[in-house]
Structure 1
Amino acid sequence: MALTLFFSPFNPEFFLELLENTERSLNEMFVRTYGKPYMQNSEVFENLFAELKRYYTGGNVNLEEMLNDFWSRLLERMFTLLNSQYVITEDYLECISKYTDQLKPFGDVPRKLKAQVTRAFIAARTFVQGLSVGREVAQRVSKVNSTPACIRALTKMLYCPFCQGMPAVKPCKNYCLNVMKGCLANQADLDPEWNLYIDAMLLVAQRLEGPFNIESVMEPIDVKISEAIMNMQENSAQVSFRVFQGCGQPKPAGMTRSTRGVSDVFSARFRPYSPEERPTTAAGTSLDRLVVDIKEKLKLSKKCWSNLPEAMCSENRVTAGNASDKDCWNGHTKGRYFPEVQKDGLTNQVNNPEVAVDITRPDTLIRQQIMALRVMTNKLKNAYNGNDIYFQDSSDEGSGSGSGSGCTEACPTEAGGAASEAPVVEADRRGPVDDSAPLRALSVALPTILALSALALHQLWR
């Protein structure tokens, strides 16, 4: 199967743009509806959106505590406005906050909104984090160094036909498969954890399409908060009476303080919200369509690591030919290639006839990426269930070297040294390899091949 070049329009900035649009919409509507009382207390809402943005961008924010604090601050401001004939001190406000759960001044809106916002933001942030980890794992494993044994095998496969005067003869497919399975043995071991990670990403994507859809939660948030304000106004007399019972009667403000018309500013209601009125990004693409697109690309990336040898030896620029062809390069001459094709993974290369693989020394960098995927999969499963876990900075994950999220250009591995230090299990190679072959030129062959295969993954995570 040839690797497909993926390009995903999914942009992590989508969620920040959504938040900014929602905040702007709320501000415009509240200024128009509530006027000066809102503008004098707008920092309560500005702080709400600032904390939501900080959470999404990786800040250590407890969403439930933050939302509880928002409603407590809103209660304090509204109680002060609705009881402007009294002197409301900081100590008195602190007393009011103790009665928030008992009073339920905003009705059931805070409880419902907290459940919706926390689940939606947990899913959105974890999904974007998952995309980042997948992209960086692909980038890191595409930069591994090749072992001397692999360089020799690639030299023999790609250059020896030229030395024997057969430049047009391409390697036999099964011969190529054995070479690539040996050179990419460690990458193939990524597959089990990679597939679990992809499955977890698809589960969270389902949540983004359904009950955890951050777009459908945030777009009507101004209407929901306005509804809560209306509930507070309608029950203001009862709320004030119960507060006075618990905290005592505050002192009158005196005749110098204007109290006229304060309650009237909360009399207006917003337009009814229509679920069909869905917001879009600047590109005109809604979250639903973006998620459908990325889900398809995630599905196509399953088993990509174990499929690399087949992809490299079939429909690509590196090799051509078929195992049944008589006129392909079999490593010695033009003819059939008879050895069996090895299975995938490091442990299955013990009898690889083309590449001497030390199966006792797994590649350190690959093991780090397996751990990074395992950690991310656990986060995704928690997000699927609506549970948040502390998001470490991505550079702290893995095994302390930024595994899965800190590597930029080159990520060396110890595999090269390991191959020369430990005993290897050799198989009959059916012919000598000229040690004077251009190994220096071939030292870039495996990274080049990996780079070609990684193009699909890089495009997927853009």
Structure 2
Amino acid sequence: MEEQLSLQSNRDFRALVEDGASFLSSTLASRHRRFEEFFRELLAAAERGLQAMFTQTYGRLYAQNARLFQGLFGELRRHQQGARLSLDEALGEFWARLLERMLPLLNPQYQFPPEYLECVARQGEALRPFGDVPRKLRLQVTRAFVAARVFVQGLATGRDVVAKASKLPPSGECLRAAMRMSSCPLCRGTPALKPCNAFCLNVMKGCLARPAELDPEWNRFLDALIQVAERLEGSFNVELAADSIGVKISEGIMYLQENGVQTSAKVFQGCGTPRPAPARSRRAARDETKRRFRTYPPEEKPTTAAGTNLDRLVTDVKEKLRLMRGFWVTLPHTLCSDGKVAADVTDEDKCWNGQARGRYLPDVTGDGLVNQINNPEVEVDIGRPDLLTRQHILQLRVATSRLQGAYGGRDLDFQDTYEDGSGSGGGERYSEDWPAGGGGGSSHSGSRPPDSRSSRKDRPGKGSRQNHRVGGSSSRAASWGGPALPLLLLPALALPLLGW
């Protein structure tokens, strides 16, 4: 009977702790799914909107080059799904390839072989064929999309930490104390007698001393999540960023149309005058490229995704996250306040004190691991580190660091050594891109990892005179404000261990 009661006490204690943490785990899991679905549908809606508007505006020309735009949205989707790739480089590659498509349309009287177009791509920064639009789009998209991705990953980290920490195996001393608290009244013939509230608190504080060590880092993690959530609906508005992709691209195309003669002259100066095209292949595409881009009227513009909108999602998640502060320290109080677990504090003389029916005399020990040295019910070795708890703390710390980086407009996977030559890392603000009082950090990126799509290699022209006119060996993505050296945050083996 004693062995059966011991096993039952073990099961009851584990179920009690998991049930106490169920609010956190279910809330974080459901909000993770909602935000993930919302961002996925938001990006899909932005792609559908661009396709519809470009088809109406440019017709056959867009249909012939649709894969270029589909490729850009494919990279954005991969980034949102967690692929370790640089948005800076993806956007730089897009603008470079767009210039390659536009230049022959603006100059149908010439031939543009691949070697010549490579020369053009390498001069992108000096040419600035799309004006300041690529830089503005890069700042807006990278900040918002990095913040969205890191926020979703943060919710998943919180969910996983709660799931694991609430299932930490209890010590033998904890199980003996839990059995004495819940099973001994049965042996005394008083099965309905509840443990005294103070007795329950001492047992639970001793049993949950290790998870309580999570609390300081847990609170910092929640604060970082809330701050990034506020960024997403404010200065790093991801809805605005997604909606503006098509508009910004169109602005860049318009700029190139209006300055096509000057841009072509700069290209010819840097790469040489191309050969004339055969008369039969000179298509009158110039008029089609001058067609203007049409944006949605306000009444047609989609304002929601996944059946909700960003304001509602952020308001809800901030409210729930604030309720989670101090959870690990207050968990013993939460469990012992349940009338099914312990007696009410007003029934001090009508509860089980561990020996008999009566008042529980020992003092309630303080919160946290260190205070358990004087716990009268559970012997806790405060000098022995718990590796699983330390792993959870490290996991929260890494997530908090990423969230703080995203809050400042930085992607810590790809940290530039400079931002637009400033060297300060402070970034820039554009009143037309961000609401007043917007984010202060700049968007950073680094070298593209092996698993991401790399740009085509620069190919020097064979025997063409542009080789003598183009200096440097930077790739096309770098010429549009591409990445520099990455910042190493943790040893390479630590990140796979923590699931990042």
Q: Pairwise mapping of residues 134-173 of structure 1 onto structure 2 (< 5 A)? A: 134-173=158-197
What value does the CA root-mean-square deviation take over the aligned residues?
A: 2.4
8 A Cα contact 1:121 1:214, kept in partner: yes
1:418 paired residue number:
none
8 A Cα contact 1:323 1:337, kept in partner: no
2:56 paired residue number:
32
CA–CA distance in 1 between the matches of 2:66 and 2:304? 25
2:141 to 99, 117, 123: 117
Q: Pairwise mapping of residues 63-462 of structure 1 onto structure 2 (< 5 A)? A: 63-271=87-295, 274=298, 277=301, 279-283=303-307, 285-315=308-338, 317-322=340-345, 325-390=348-413, 405=499
Report the CA distance shift for 1:69/1:194 in structure 2 as closer, same or farther (over 3 A): same
CA–CA distance in 2 between the matches of 1:89 and 1:203? 50
CA–CA distance in 1 between the matches of 2:499 and 2:119? 46
Counterpart residue identity of residue 204, structure 1: V
1:405-439 C-alpha deviation (Å, 9 max, x unpaired):
59xxxxxxxxxxxxxxxxxxxxxxxxxxxxxxxxx
Aligned-residue identity in percent: 50
CA–CA distance in 2 between the matches of 1:104 and 1:22? 26
Counterpart residue identity of residue 160, structure 1: C
Deviates more, 1:370-379 or 1:55-64: 55-64
Counterpart residue identity of residue 89, structure 2: E
Report the CA distance shift for 1:254/1:403 in structure 2 as closer, same or farther (over 3 A): closer
Q: Which has the higher contact order (CA 8 A, sep 6+)?
A: 1
CA–CA distance in 2 between the matches of 1:316 and 1:48? 57
CA–CA distance in 2 between the matches of 1:399 and 1:272? 48
8 A Cα contact 2:37 2:306, kept in partner: no
CA–CA distance in 2 between the matches of 1:240 and 1:310? 73
8 A Cα contact 1:219 1:278, kept in partner: no
1:140-164 C-alpha deviation (Å, 9 max, x unpaired):
0111111111111011100111111
Counterpart residue identity of residue 242, structure 1: K
Q: TM-score, normalised by structure 2?
A: 0.76
The CA deviation at 1:302 is 0.4
Report the CA distance shift for 1:334/1:206 in structure 2 as closer, same or farther (over 3 A): same
CA–CA distance in 1 between the matches of 2:161 and 2:493? 13
Report the CA distance shift for 1:329/1:189 in structure 2 as closer, same or farther (over 3 A): same
8 A Cα contact 1:96 1:247, kept in partner: yes
CA–CA distance in 1 between the matches of 2:241 and 2:383? 52
Unaligned runs of 5+ in 2: 1-19, 415-448, 452-489
8 A Cα contact 1:133 1:404, kept in partner: no
2:8 paired residue number:
none
Secondary structure of the corresponding residue to residue 366 of structure 1 = helix
2:487 paired residue number:
none
Counterpart residue identity of residue 166, structure 2: S
Report the CA distance shift for 1:142/1:399 in structure 2 as closer, same or farther (over 3 A): farther
8 A Cα contact 1:124 1:208, kept in partner: yes
The CA deviation at 1:13 is 2.1
1:123-143 C-alpha deviation (Å, 9 max, x unpaired):
001000100000000000111
CA–CA distance in 2 between the matches of 1:212 and 1:261? 38
Report the CA distance shift for 1:318/1:364 in structure 2 as closer, same or farther (over 3 A): same
CA–CA distance in 1 between the matches of 2:272 and 2:332? 77
CA–CA distance in 2 between the matches of 1:133 and 1:282? 23
The CA deviation at 1:274 is 4.8
1:189-237 C-alpha deviation (Å, 9 max, x unpaired):
1100101111111111111111111111111321221121111111111
CA–CA distance in 2 between the matches of 1:31 and 1:276? 17
8 A Cα contact 1:346 1:362, kept in partner: no
8 A Cα contact 1:55 1:61, kept in partner: yes
Secondary structure of the corresponding residue to residue 306 of structure 1 = helix
1:54 to 65, 78, 89: 78
CA–CA distance in 2 between the matches of 1:198 and 1:229? 42
Runs of 4+ in 1 over 6 A off after TM superposition: 396-399
8 A Cα contact 1:103 1:239, kept in partner: yes
The CA deviation at 1:398 is 11
Report the CA distance shift for 1:257/1:290 in structure 2 as closer, same or farther (over 3 A): same
1:19 paired residue number:
43
Unaligned runs of 5+ in 1: 407-462
Deviates more, 1:20-29 or 1:2-11: 2-11
CA–CA distance in 2 between the matches of 1:184 and 1:106? 60
CA–CA distance in 1 between the matches of 2:401 and 2:495? 20
Counterpart residue identity of residue 358, structure 1: D
Number of residue pairs matched by the alignment: 402
8 A Cα contact 1:133 1:373, kept in partner: yes
The CA deviation at 1:397 is 9.4
The CA deviation at 1:176 is 0.3
Counterpart residue identity of residue 313, structure 1: C
